[in-house]
Amino acid sequence: MTQAAASPAPERDFGIYIHVPFCSVRCGYCDFNTYAPGETDGATPASYVEAALREMAFARSVMSDDPRPASTVFFGGGTPTLLDAGALAKLLDGVRSTWGLIVDAEVTTEANPDSVSARSLAALAEASFTRVSFGMQSAVPHVLATLDRTHRPENVSRGVAWARDVGLATSVDLIYGTPGESLADWRDSVDAALGFEPDHISAYALVIEPGTRMGVQLRRGEVAPTDPDVQADMYELADEAFTAAGFEWYEVSNWARTAADRCRHNLGYWTSQDWWGIGPGAHSYLGPDEARQARRWWNVKHPRAYAERLSAGLSPEQEGEPLSAEDLDLEQIMLGLRLADGIPCPPGRADAVARLIADGLVDGRAALGGTLKLTRRGRLLADRAVRELTA
């Protein structure tokens, strides 16, 4: 199938992801497709906005059916809030005029705590954004320094309070297992995050990719990797503290105050809904159509190449792949098993399921009822559980 035949199916939600590929500084641990000043080869936020609007028009021209309104829009990065609120509102208007938005659409932007003000957040709320996700990472200065974070810890509480004051739902991202971070440091970050009273918290184990600056430091022995057992203790500490404060986990790395506070956009990825990714390096996925054919594709990575292709009237797609029914079954296990709601027991996997129950990784009672749900130990070993089920 080509993009020309692509269309989201009415039985699935449709989300729009907008990738903003700029950061004021590249953090040493970050492997995302983002560019600091000096790395953009002439691409600017203004040229990016024009290119992204062009991609929306292109998307509409290749979609076969009437536009289906988006249920969610997620501005990710990079640092979307390096664009001013007017530019973000213009992109959201682009989504509205291209596809429309459902009445209670969730519209999120990621934000670096330093790149918002009371005024910019009020302008985003005014433009129908509903949610802001702050990159907090840690509350401890030496941990923030190791992560190359430039924001001051107090800017997070200020940002969350400003966002709440104008009616935006709030989330904070934390990272655990930074080299040199102790369990006591992590407890301080967890307590600080809870003290801001956000609606949602994400806590990610630090992944150090070989190609990043921190990956090089690790190879040279300049930083020490965190012991996996300590990282597991950090996860348990966070889960206990979040649960005691009234949050509920709904995905291995995500906790929400109520079911209504879960991130609907990310749930769309994890439950194989449809989405179109706008921007350099953005990925898109449209699930099975009438011919039972699903497809994923991704855009060229550099913002300059991206803008040039769209200016020339070309698709920004770099590559894509059809997904077979087996691929989709595998993805449902990989992504769905990480959700608190679990997945239906995969057929033909009784031995693997029995092993996972015996090892305490999945809930035996739920499995008897036909649903696989991870226990807390299973959440710590989710990758192993997926491997057992897909081997």
Ligand X SMILES: C[S@@+](CC[C@H](N)C(=O)[O-])C[C@H]1O[C@@H](n2cnc3c(N)ncnc32)[C@H](O)[C@@H]1O
Q: Which residues bind ligand SF4 (CB under 6 A)?
A: 23, 26-27, 30, 32, 34, 77-79, 112, 135
CB of 282 to ligand X, least distance (A): 12
Which helix (H) or strand (E) segment holds residue 250: the answer is strand 248-251
CB of 349 to ligand SF4, least distance (A): 37
Could you say which of ligand X, ligand SF4, none residue 173 binds, taking C-beta under 5 to 8 angstroms by partner kind?
A: ligand X
How many angstroms separate the first and last alpha carbons of the chain? 29
Residue least distant from ligand X (Cβ) = 135
Could you say which of ligand SF4, ligand X, none residue 207 binds, taking C-beta under 5 to 8 angstroms by partner kind?
A: ligand X
Where do contacts with ligand X occur on this chain (CB under 6 A)?
29-32, 76-77, 79, 110, 112, 135, 137, 173, 175, 204, 206-207
Radius of gyration of the chain (CA): 21
**Residue with Cβ nearer ligand X (37 or 322):** 37
**Residue with Cβ nearer ligand SF4 (52 or 339):** 52
Could you say which of ligand X, ligand SF4, none residue 26 binds, taking C-beta under 5 to 8 angstroms by partner kind?
A: ligand SF4
Asked if 129 contacts 167 with a C-beta cutoff of 8 angstroms, the reply is: no
Residue 291, token pair as written in the block: 């011919």
Question: In the beta sheet, which residues pair with residue 284?
Answer: 297
Q: What is the DSSP string of 169-194?
A: EEEEEEEE--TT--HHHHHHHHHHHH
Q: How far apart are CA 165 and CA 119, in angstroms?
A: 11
CB of 194 to ligand SF4, least distance (A): 22
Could you say which of ligand SF4, ligand X, none residue 39 binds, taking C-beta under 5 to 8 angstroms by partner kind?
A: none
**Residue with Cβ nearer ligand SF4 (23 or 267):** 23
**Residue with Cβ nearer ligand X (112 or 273):** 112
CB of 150 to ligand X, least distance (A): 10
Torsion of CA 100, 101, 102, 108, to 10 degrees: 170
**Residue with Cβ nearer ligand X (110 or 363):** 110
Could you say which of ligand SF4, ligand X, none residue 62 binds, taking C-beta under 5 to 8 angstroms by partner kind?
A: none
Q: What is the DSSP string of 302-361?
A: SHHHHHHHHHTT---EEEEEEE-HHHHHHHHHHHHTTBTT-EEPPTT-HHHHHHHHHTTS
Q: How far apart are CA 156 and CA 158, in angstroms?
A: 5
CB of 135 to ligand SF4, least distance (A): 5
Q: How far apart are CA 336 and CA 328, in angstroms?
A: 11
Could you say which of ligand X, ligand SF4, none residue 204 binds, taking C-beta under 5 to 8 angstroms by partner kind?
A: ligand X
Q: How far apart are CA 220 and CA 59, in angstroms?
A: 45
Between β-strands 343-344 and 294-299, what pairing exists: parallel, antiparallel or unpaired?
A: unpaired
CB of 80 to ligand SF4, least distance (A): 10
Could you say which of ligand X, ligand SF4, none residue 187 binds, taking C-beta under 5 to 8 angstroms by partner kind?
A: none
Residue 151, token pair as written in the block: 């924001």
Asked if 294 contacts 274 with a C-beta cutoff of 8 angstroms, the reply is: no
**Residue with Cβ nearer ligand SF4 (15 or 77):** 77
CB of 68 to ligand SF4, least distance (A): 30
Q: How far apart are CA 164 and CA 121, in angstroms?
A: 9
Could you say which of ligand X, ligand SF4, none residue 3 binds, taking C-beta under 5 to 8 angstroms by partner kind?
A: none
**Residue with Cβ nearer ligand X (77 or 287):** 77
Residue least distant from ligand SF4 (Cβ) = 30
Residue 385, token pair as written in the block: 């559980």
Q: What is the DSSP string of 41-61?
A: TT--HHHHHHHHHHHHHHHHH
CB of 49 to ligand SF4, least distance (A): 18
CB of 79 to ligand X, least distance (A): 4
